[in-house]
Each structure stands twice: as structure tokens, then as C-alpha cells.
A and B are shown apart, each in its own frame.
Chain A
Amino acid sequence: MTVVDTKAEKVAGWNRPPVIEPDGEGELLEVAMGPHHPSTHGVFRMDVALDGERVIRLKPVFGYLHRNHEKIAEGASYLASMPYTDRLDYFCSLTNNWAYALAVEKLVGQQVPERAEYIRVILAELTRIQNHASSIGFLIQEMGASGTPLMYAFREREKILDLFESLTGSRMMCNYMRFGGCRVDVSAPWLDATRKVVAGLPAFVDEFEALLSSNEILMARCQGVGILRPDLAVNAGVSGPMLRASGVNYDIRKVDHYGIYDRFQFRIPLGDHGDIYDRYMVRVLEMRESIKILEQALKELPAGPIMDPKAKIRGFRPKPGEAYGRIEAPKGELGFYLISDGGPNPYRYRVRPPSLINLTILEDMCLGHNVADVVLIFGSVDIVLGEVDR
């Protein structure tokens, strides 16, 4: 096992986590949590140094699922990487598709028809709801509530995945978006089924909240645990619900005005304390806002083409240059940075993974807490290892 360094290197000006001196006289216990640990959501390791139950030092270790996605994409054509982006964050393949399509559309100056924009919003918000529901489910599962909340979340997720399957042919690996539009049009029966599912969602969130929000155990375990200060969150590049739970009003849907999010009325829930409970609450409230967006989008969905007829598919060679496109994925800011040298393959293809960058401050949040809280703090970050390790 790698020895955990207990003496923090002090670098001038650098925001290192505070060094905690152990109380007792005994030696520190060094524990490798993971890589195969039920709480790590995959293969991920935390090398933890403990003084009794207290965490003195924590070093995350990555790379168990690394397959060099970026190198593979540099050897493939632009479109050929689209199905591979599904495998980054396999809970949210549609938002991954959208982020990649958006970056390429920026690179070549491609316009997207209005109907396709609406479909993208509908699918992205459905993705956000199922991601937040299951991430809360997993978080509660890690608190020891075996099953019930997770099953409630998965029951709802199943309905949304059924919609994805009937539209794209796949439940999780949707591979649906294209540069300049979407792959297949939505049908009237699909829209009816979606309206039905969306109509049932508020009741689900109510039920979820009635079960959890004022639950004594949840409050005792979550409130005041794993606090993240807003200045540190911004400096460390934390994004998504994590950032907003710390009280920073920054949602890329509102900031970048990408897609057609300007047309919808929705609010940005913010946390006050930046603890686990705020992260839970922000996710619940974001689900409610997503339902609002879905209701508006389903009402206004216009007729028309779903693909720009001028979009070039064969012989797709963007002019030399570069572009960085980003969206508000359920886990945070998902960006793609592309450099074209005029060839059919990207010269450089970089994924900005929100899951990895949100883990930068994992140690800061965990120090001084008990081991059992580490599991919760880690769960509240909401990561998927496919995206962390790429």
C-alpha cells in the first residue's frame, strides 16, 4: 500500500487542506478504501490515514478505468467519437452527446434547427432528473437505508430509460445527437408517453421528499458534514450542484445561454451551508426546476426538421482552428476542447470531466470527520468513474 504522507507540503499561497495533528500517542492507521469498495461507485481508491476514527489525511487514487479515451478519439473521425462519449458518464449519455455536439458545432459554425434544440432540452432535463434521483438514492443507500429510497429512484429512472430506449434504441448508450441536429425525430406517441411520465414526476419528488427531507437520521448524518466554502469551491473549479450547494450562483444554462434555455422560466436553487444536506436539497430542487422546463418544452415543441439540411456528414473536415464548448451536465461543467488541423480526425480532443475536477477538494471536505462520513461526503460529490478515469 502506498504510504500516506502525513506532513503536508506547505506551498506559499496555495490553498492546502489544513494539517491535523493527531491527538493520541499511537501510530496512525493507514487504510486503503477501495478500489473494490461498495461506496466508491466503481473502481476508485482512497488512501486514508486515521487517528482512531478521525481522518488525518486522504489521497484519492485514480486510473483503474483509464482507457485513454482522448487518444482513441484522436485516431477516429469526429462522428466516430460520438458513441464513445456515451461511455464517459454512463448515467447521462445524452448530455455527453450534447456537449460534444456543441463543441463541434462551435468549431464549424453549425446551426441547429429549432425542433432539434427542443428535443435536446427535453432529453437533457430527463437525464438530469434520473441522474439526480439515482445519485440521491445511492447517497441514502450509503447512509445505511438499504434499498427503499434507491428503489423509489430507480422506479422513476426506469420509466425515463424506457423513453430513451423507445426513442434512441438504447437505454443508456443512446448515441443520439449529431452535429447540427439529432438522429431520429420524436413521434407523437413518444411525446404522449413523455408527457405522461413528466406528469407523474412531481408526485414522485413529493414522495421522495416526504420520505427523506425531514428524516431524522438523514439530517443527523448530513447537516454540518463535509462543508465546502464558496471561495474554495470556485478556486478549485468545482461545478454543478456541488458549487451551487455552496451558495455560488453559477449555472451554465443561465450563463452561456447555450441551446434555447433562455426561453424557459426556471430558477437556480442555491445552498446556504455547503454541507451534504445542501447538496441533497439542491439536487431535489433542481429536479423540480427540470420538471418545469420539461413542461414548457413539451408544450412549445415546434414542427420542422431535426437536422440542418446543410450539415455536412461525409467528408467532414473542419477548418483549422480550435473550440471549447461546455454545457451544464447533471454532474457539473462538461466541456470538450477540440483542435482541428483540417483533417478528418481531431488533432486534439480533450474532455473536461466534472467528476474528476469536483474530487479536487475531496480531502479538504473529509479532514477531521469520521471514516463513515467520508463515504457520505464522497457520495455527495456524485461521480461516475467512467468519466473520472476516461
Chain B
Amino acid sequence: MKTVEEIKAAIEAAVPGAGVEFVPNPSLSAQHSLRLAPESAVAVATFLRDDAELTLDFLSNVSGVDWPDKEVAEKVKVTRTVTKTVDGPDGQKVDQQVEETVEETRKHVEPGCLEAVYHLYSVSKKHGPLVIRLRTANRTDQIELPSLTPVWRAAEFQEREVFDLYGIVFAGHPDLRRILMWPEFKDHPMRKDYVEPDDFEYEPTAHDEVLKRAQEHKDSEQGTGIRDQEAAAK
């Protein structure tokens, strides 16, 4: 099989303006991947499937990955002018302007995203894997990605699963519903910031510590437990 860089060149030649980015994999598996721009993803996927040399006709695996917002602390050297009191030549205290270099820690938040990773193989040519990845703009409101189910039917249930557990909305999926959680469930359990519901169903008459914890959680809960939903249904 061609190397990932060669495949990237082939995609760029076949699909103009594809916006493909090479993502190196530093681990020893050396399975490097290509990040596609969501706008051209379906065109690129169709090319990968139909190209005579690649024929990546077998979509093996679709998985979601959550990359939460990350607070990054950097150390920056800052030079500033400071007034210092020093001993003068005749024994008096004199104020003097001194330049000083200080290390400062600056924090900034790198916005997170949700990612869908596809592993492609070729059944007819018996090669693979090629890893392609799609990223959403953020984790809250722009969570739409194009569905690759029209290209590979194998994505049908797997994209439903990613939608269910990560909350990525696959535009163009013919039947996007929850698959593992029940339909009334809110939230997406595989996200890193998911808080497990705390509705103490195992304790029919909560008392002592359990009661205390239940009351603490009553307001902060996300309303995802079975009891909450039963109450909401009534």
C-alpha cells in the first residue's frame, strides 16, 4: 500500500481543495492518520473507496474520541522596569530604575473538540489500515459532522453509537437514533466530563449518609436517572 503521505497527495490531486492534514502517530505502531475537512469528507471518502489503486472498500471501525477544553500553562519570560531602593554612594537611600526579567506563568484555554476516527481496509487488495479522522469545531454547539454511512454501510450502527455516547451529530445519516442508551436518556456518557447520575435506586429508603448524599446531589444532578425520567414523564 502507498504510504500515508502518498495517499494524501493522491487525495489532493483527485479532490481539489480537500484540506487534508497529516497527523503523525508517535507510538511504535506507526499508524499515521489523515485529518479531513468536514466539508469535503464525503467526496474524499468516496474517492478512497472507488480509487482503483486504493479500493478501501471495508470500513472496519468507527470510534469517537472526546478532547475536552484544555487549560495550558506556559512560562513566559517578561522584562519590566522596577523601582528599587539601593544604597547611594553617600550612605543615603536612593530610588533607582532597574530592568528585571521575570518568569511568568500564563494560562490559556485550548478549545476542545469531538473527533470521529475511521479505520479503513481493503478487502480486494488486502491492505490497510488507513486511519482518517474528522473533528468538530467545538464540543457544545457546533458538533455536526458529515455521515460516511452513504459511502460505507458499516458506519450505520457505529455512527449511531458515536452519536449516542459522544453526541456527534452525523448529518446525512439515514437513521440517527440512540442505540445503546434508551431514547429518553439525556447527555452522552462517554464524554470525559460526564457526571454519573446519583439517584440511589439501590436504596429504597435512603437514610443517614446515603440520604445526606442524595440531598446534596438533588439539585446538582443532570436529571439523567431513571427516577428523574419517570417523574418527567408524569
Real binding pair: yes
Q: Interface residues, chain A, CB within 8 Å of chain B?
A: 9, 11-16, 62-63, 66, 68, 70-71, 106-109, 232, 234-239, 248, 250, 255, 318-326, 333, 335, 337, 339-340, 348, 350, 352, 356-357, 359-361, 389-390
What's the A-B contact tally at a CB cutoff of 8 Å?
A: 123
- Residues on A with beta carbons closer than 8 Å to the beta carbon of B174: 9, 11, 14, 16
CB-based contact A361/B61 at 8 Å: no
Q: Which of A66, A321, A333, A389 contacts B29 (CB 8 A)?
A: A321
Q: Which of A237, A339, A389 contacts B154 (CB 8 A)?
A: A237
CB-based contact B152/A68 at 8 Å: no
User: With A14-B150, A107-B27, A335-B60 as given contacts, are A360 and B156 in contact (CB-CB < 8 Å)?
Assistant: yes
Q: Which residues of B1-53 have CB atoms within 8 Å of chain A's CB atoms?
A: 25-29, 31
Q: Which of A13, A239, A322 contacts B31 (CB 8 A)?
A: A322
Give the docked Cα–Cα distance between A359 and B154 (Å). Answer: 10
Give the docked Cα–Cα distance between A106 and B31 (Å). Answer: 10
- Residues on B with beta carbons closer than 8 Å to the beta carbon of A232: 153
Q: Is B172 an interface position by the 8 A CB rule? A: yes
Question: How big is chain B's contact interface, by range?
Answer: 35 or more
CB-based contact A360/B153 at 8 Å: yes
CB-based contact B28/A321 at 8 Å: yes
CB-based contact A237/B152 at 8 Å: yes
CB-based contact A324/B28 at 8 Å: no
Residue of A nearest to B33 (CB): A322
Q: Is B109 an interface position by the 8 A CB rule? A: no
CB-based contact A322/B119 at 8 Å: no
Interchain nearest-CB distance for A42 vs B (Å):
14
Residue of A nearest to B26 (CB): A321
- Residues on B with beta carbons closer than 8 Å to the beta carbon of A390: 180
Q: Is B143 an interface position by the 8 A CB rule? A: no
Give the docked Cα–Cα distance between A37 and B149 (Å). Answer: 31
Give the docked Cα–Cα distance between A230 and B126 (Å). Answer: 16
- Residues on B with beta carbons closer than 8 Å to the beta carbon of A13: 150-151
CB-based contact A250/B123 at 8 Å: yes
CB-based contact A324/B119 at 8 Å: yes
* A-B interface, 5 closest residue pairs, ranked by CB to CB distance from nearest: A321-B27, A237-B154, A109-B28, A323-B29, A350-B63
CB-based contact B154/A235 at 8 Å: yes
Give the docked Cα–Cα distance between A12 and B189 (Å). Answer: 32
- List 22 contacting pairs A-B, 8 Å CB cutoff, sorted by A: A9-B174, A13-B151, A14-B174, A63-B182, A68-B190, A107-B27, A108-B28, A235-B153, A236-B152, A236-B153, A236-B156, A237-B58, A237-B152, A250-B58, A250-B126, A318-B27, A319-B26, A326-B60, A337-B61, A340-B27, A348-B65, A360-B154
Q: Interface residues, chain B, CB within 8 Å of chain A?
A: 25-29, 31, 57-61, 63, 65, 117, 119, 123, 126, 129, 131, 149-158, 165, 172, 174-175, 178-182, 189-190
- Residues on B with beta carbons closer than 8 Å to the beta carbon of A324: 29, 31, 60-61, 119, 129, 131
CB-based contact A319/B152 at 8 Å: no
Most chain B CB within a 10 A radius of its CB, from A107, A238, A350, A352: A350
CB-based contact A322/B172 at 8 Å: no
User: With A63-B180, A324-B31, A357-B158 as given contacts, are A248 and B153 in contact (CB-CB < 8 Å)?
Assistant: no
Interchain nearest-CB distance for B201 vs A (Å):
15
Give the docked Cα–Cα distance between A323 and B156 (Å). Answer: 23
Residue of A nearest to B160 (CB): A62
- Residues on A with beta carbons closer than 8 Å to the beta carbon of B172: 11
- Residues on B with beta carbons closer than 8 Å to the beta carbon of A236: 152-154, 156
Residue of B nearest to A390 (CB): B180
Given contacts A238-B154, A250-B126, A322-B29, 15 further A-B contacts (CB under 8 A): A11-B150, A12-B150, A62-B180, A63-B179, A107-B29, A108-B28, A236-B154, A237-B59, A324-B60, A337-B61, A352-B61, A352-B119, A357-B157, A357-B158, A360-B153
Interchain nearest-CB distance for B110 vs A (Å):
14
- Residues on A with beta carbons closer than 8 Å to the beta carbon of B26: 319-321
Residue of A nearest to B194 (CB): A71
Interchain nearest-CB distance for A232 vs B (Å):
7
